[in-house]
């Protein structure tokens, strides 16, 4: 009898193990990339329709949903360029969208009228962006660098005859926030350094300019109230984190509105000031507070309690809310919510029905100590089957920037790699945003040194985990993260077994000299942080540029690049590939002829991500 019980128990264990293996489905990149991405979500004037963008056709196109029937109509059918929804024209419900050419980032604004797309901001090198509507809603404000590629001037365009007029000529590198509701006030900002913003309130009628930024600190504009009596802004004066303030235009008095132990990154009031919306960047994910200003009650959206809300917007009548929400193991969707009836409608279905979310993983915020004891916040993605007896290889993931942040959320490449057995530690090294202004400044003029050591110590943390194969740890990153990848492979050649560089900087001297002209307003702050390539700083920039030290590379690398990238030029990748090959290491180079800084098209992502996994399986796993 005991033998029979042991046999039954053993069979049950085997069955359970087999069942566990069957439950974890490994997905092809085609399957995971069959998940869609969506963006935007703009109500028509009467809140009867919602406009958004989706890449379910392969590139981003425009879609419109009738909110009474939830019937969806595809508005555009682009095959090459991605189209991003911007707004409805309030008086006509005509659609405005934004698009560039081949990823060159020179985005134009287009109007769909009579079934045709009209370029509202023409010019081969013109870059333009939407800024809002006049009070009578007959004219649209926009920014354009058509006059001078270095600076963005303020225009308004008559939506009847499409004639445009310059409102403000910009020769000092100002950036602008949306105008007051009465068209009287314009908020302008100059940023002499990364930690100082100079914010001004300009009276367009009297030409009087008042400085709102009364201290040397960061100032982020947040908008006017309905009657244009108060202007809201975030600042980190005398504090590590941004907090929300109001400025009374008539008296000049300031009042604290909201403060917490994280950055208050966004605030707006709905059309008639009924609701206030505050966004806080809390430990690498957005926390959104929607407050009824009449009784200070908090609005809780029923039906999406298990999702993280990334953004919301309100219809003009303040009855409907557009919600963008998701999680680490789901690409996120667009929802609408009726405040009165509490009815939630899901507008998009971005997760491929063939993908079981339980096969994917949620990111977990962890912290580890670096070489000098500084605590480094990071996000861990641990494969489901990883354990002490089933050790897995791992990657240190480095975000873009400088000054970016890895955040909790869905990334197809991360889920793809984790699903195929790679643990990923997304490191928010010193210099990352979201953790206070001191932490943010710790890598200034120190890139490729202490921030790189943070990544090396991230690798050490991974080695200490009993489910990690400590001999199989690589590094991966895009843009600034690509630089960090190549810096690791060049200056710490024995630490990481492989490196995957996705359009990363390898020659800082050239990159800082060749930044796009429309970055002119940010040039000084970038030079202050990184160094001036036209000065003696060039020596340090040379010393931290992987290109000039490629002979040190010992282990295999992979490089991915877009030929139309205006930020990190193709030559950056061409040259590091050539130099690494001269050093005798294996290099795989993937170049997309029709891509910019980031691979927007699905076929590019599928090809690139699949080749990354193949490379890792061959040279790391």
Distance CA 97, CA 112 (A): 8
DSSP-derived secondary structure letter, 40 = E
pLDDT greater at residue 417 or residue 30: 417
Domain boundaries, the chain: 361-619
Considering the chain, what percentage of its residues have pLDDT values greater than 90?
A: 86
Inform me whether the pLDDT recorded for 21 exceeds 60: no
| Structural tokens at position 510 | 């050239």
Instruction: Provide the 3-class DSSP secondary structure of residue 74.
Output: strand
Distance CA 12, CA 158 (A): 74
In the block, residue with structure tokens 């609005």: 299
Is the separation of the CB atoms in 128 and 106 below 8 Å?
no
Phi/psi at 423 (5° precision): -80, 145
Inform me whether the pLDDT recorded for 607 exceeds 80: yes
pLDDT greater at residue 524 or residue 55: 55
Please state the rounded mean pLDDT for residues 23-30.
84
Cis status of the peptide bond prior to 402, with omega within 30 of 0? yes
Please state the rounded mean pLDDT for residues 335-352.
96
Instruction: Provide the 3-class DSSP secondary structure of residue 60.
Output: coil
Return the pLDDT at 510: 94
Inform me whether the pLDDT recorded for 11 exceeds 70: no
Rg of the chain taking only CA atoms, in angstroms? 26
Confidence of residue 401 (pLDDT cuts 50, 70, 90): confident
101-139: pLDDT as tens digits? 999 999 999 999 999 999 999 999 999 999 999 999 999
Q: Centre a 10 Å sphere on the Cβ of residue 294 and count the other Cβ atoms it contains.
A: 9
Confidence of residue 13 (pLDDT cuts 50, 70, 90): very low
442-485: pLDDT as tens digits? 998 889 999 999 999 999 999 999 999 999 999 999 999 999 99
Confidence of residue 8 (pLDDT cuts 50, 70, 90): very low
The CATH homologous superfamily of the domain defined by 361-619: Alpha/Beta hydrolase fold, catalytic domain (3.40.50.1820)
Q: In terms of Cα–Cα distance, which of 104, 108, 86, 107 is closest to 95?
A: 86
Inform me whether the pLDDT recorded for 289 exceeds 60: yes
DSSP-derived secondary structure letter, 180 = P
Distance CA 178, CA 187 (A): 7
């Amino acid at each position: 009898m005991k033998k029979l019980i042991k046999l039954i128990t053993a069979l049950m264990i085997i069955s359970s193990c087999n069942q566990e293996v069957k439950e974890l489905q490994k997905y092809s990149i085609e399957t995971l990339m069959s998940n869609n991405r969506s963006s935007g979500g703009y109500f028509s004037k009467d809140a009867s329709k919602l406009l958004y963008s989706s890449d379910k056709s392969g590139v981003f196109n425009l879609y419109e949903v009738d909110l009474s029937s939830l019937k969806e109509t595809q508005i555009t059918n682009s095959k090459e360029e991605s189209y991003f929804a911007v707004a409805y024209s309030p008086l006509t419900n005509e659609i405005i969208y934004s698009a560039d050419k081949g990823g060159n980032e020179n985005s134009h604004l287009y109007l769909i009228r009579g079934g045709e797309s009209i370029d509202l901001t023409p010019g081969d090198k013109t870059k333009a962006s939407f800024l809002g509507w006049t009070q009578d809603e007959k004219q649209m404000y926009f920014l354009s660098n058509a006059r001078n590629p270095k600076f963005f001037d303020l225009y308004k365009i008559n939506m009847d005859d499409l004639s445009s007029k310059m409102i403000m000529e910009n020769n000092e590198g100002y950036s602008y926030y949306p105008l007051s509701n009465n068209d009287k006030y314009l908020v302008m900002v100059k940023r002499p350094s990364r930690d100082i913003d100079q914010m001004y309130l300009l009276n367009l009628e009297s030409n009087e300019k008042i400085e709102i930024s009364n201290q040397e600190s960061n100032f982020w504009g947040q908008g006017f109230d309905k009657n244009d009596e108060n202007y809201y802004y975030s600042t980190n004066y005398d504090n590590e984190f941004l907090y929300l303030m109001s400025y009374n235009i008539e008296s000049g008095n300031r009042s604290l509105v909201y403060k917490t132990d994280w950055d208050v990154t966004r605030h707006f009031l709905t059309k008639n000031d009924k609701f206030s919306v505050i966004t806080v960047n809390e430990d690498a994910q957005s926390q959104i507070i929607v407050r009824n200003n009449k009784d200070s009650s908090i609005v809780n959206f029923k039906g999406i309690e298990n999702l993280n809300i990334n953004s919301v917007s309100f219809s003009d009548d303040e009855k409907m809310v557009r919600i963008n929400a998701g999680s680490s193991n789901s690409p996120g969707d667009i929802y609408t919510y009726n405040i009165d009836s509490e009815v939630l409608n899901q507008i998009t279905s971005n997760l491929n029905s063939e993908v079981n979310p339980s096969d994917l993983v949620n990111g977990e915020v962890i912290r580890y100590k670096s070489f000098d004891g500084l605590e480094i916040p990071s996000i861990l993605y641990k494969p489901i089957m990883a354990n002490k007896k089933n050790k897995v290889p791992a990657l240190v993931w480095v975000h873009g920037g400088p000054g970016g942040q890895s955040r909790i959320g869905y990334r197809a490449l991360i889920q793809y790699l984790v699903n195929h057995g790679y643990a990923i530690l997304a490191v928010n090294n010193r210099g990352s945003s979201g953790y206070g202004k001191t932490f943010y400044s710790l890598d200034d003029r120190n890139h490729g040194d202490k921030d790189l050591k943070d990544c090396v110590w991230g690798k050490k943390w991974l080695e200490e985990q009993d489910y990690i194969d400590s001999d199989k740890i690589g590094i991966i990153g895009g843009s600034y993260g690509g630089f960090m990848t190549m810096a690791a492979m060049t200056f710490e050649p024995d630490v990481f077994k492989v490196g995957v560089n996705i359009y990363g900087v390898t020659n800082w001297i050239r990159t800082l000299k060749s930044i796009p002209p429309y970055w002119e307003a940010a040039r000084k702050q970038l030079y202050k942080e990184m160094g001036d390539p036209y000065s003696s700083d060039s020596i340090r920039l040379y010393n931290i540029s992987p290109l000039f030290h490629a002979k040190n590379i010992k282990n295999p690398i992979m490089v991915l690049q877009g030929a139309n990238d205006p930020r990190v030029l193709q030559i950056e990748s061409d040259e590091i590939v050539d130099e690494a090959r001269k050093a005798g290491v294996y290099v795989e180079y993937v170049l997309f002829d029709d891509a910019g800084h980031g691979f927007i098209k699905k076929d590019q992502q599928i090809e690139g991500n699949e080749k990354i996994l193949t490379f890792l399986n061959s040279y790391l796993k």
